[in-house]
Amino acid sequence: MKKNLLFMLLLFIIAFSGCSSSSTEGEFEDLEATISEKMEKDIAIIEFDDLELSFSMIMYDTEDNIKEASWDYEKFEDEKKLSLTEEETMQREKEFNSEFLYGPYEGGIPLIRTVVMDKEENLYNFEDEEFKEEQINEQTVYYYELKNPTHQITIFLPLDTVVYGSRFELSSGELNKETAFEYIEKLMEQTQGN
């Protein structure tokens, strides 16, 4: 239950935060390079043909060390629109000791949120009974599934130096459990050696 509260707190903070970046060609690669540089690790961001980035941020601890980076994927039918002004963005950065790298954009259907943290910063106990294990290409991943109020699955991929955690919204029917694990498999392929 504690892990649900931590993840929900992160989601709440992100939901009310913003930035003034605009959508450009190569946004996946640009964001991947920026986060990798800031975290001083090779970070992978999966690119989709049918999903777009809507948000990204880095959160810092009280000593200004990076705690985690996150990014969202959404399905947009119309043009993306920024949800906050530059002034509101600066206020949120100061309030939450964070840095907004992209968006947030509004108007899409939120489908995937990925968080990456240094392995030493991981607060999740994968031995907790709420977690289930799955083997993908001889790598153990941990997940839990929630069905109320919405259907979600959250999958964690612990690697040598970082831990990825991805929450998938299954309620919309755009994604299912199988596509969630396919995403994690793609992520594993891009993160060899992390």
Which of 115, 131, 94 lies closest to 168 in space, CA to CA?
115
How much is the pTM?
0.83
69 within 8 A of 116, measured Cβ to Cβ = yes
By the 10 Å C-beta count (0-12 exposed, 13-18 middle, 19+ buried), 13 is classed as middle
Alpha-carbon span 34 to 78, nearest angstrom: 27
Q: Is the pLDDT of residue 169 over 90?
A: yes
Rounded mean pLDDT, 62-69: 93
Beta-ladder partners of 72 = 55, 113
Helix (H, G, I), strand (E, B) or coil at 146: strand
Confidence of residue 123 (pLDDT cuts 50, 70, 90): confident
Alpha-carbon span 4 to 108, nearest angstrom: 24
What integer pLDDT is reported at residue 61 of this predicted model?
A: 92
Q: Is the pLDDT of residue 128 over 80?
A: yes
Is-cis flag, bond preceding 158, omega within 30?
A: no
Q: Is the pLDDT of residue 18 over 60?
A: no
Give residue-wise pLDDT tens across range 130-158.
Answer: 999 999 989 999 999 999 889 999 999 99
User: Which domain, by its residues, includes 129?
Assistant: 2-190
Alpha-carbon span 10 to 22, nearest angstrom: 23
Rounded mean pLDDT, 78-85: 90
> Number of folded domains in the chain?
1
Q: Is the pLDDT of residue 23 over 60?
A: no
Which of 157, 128, 132, 152 lies closest to 143 in space, CA to CA?
132
Q: What is the mean pLDDT of the chain?
A: 86
Rounded mean pLDDT, 49-67: 93
Above pLDDT 90, what percent of the chain?
69
Low-confidence winner among 15-19, 33-37, 171-175 (lowest mean pLDDT): 15-19
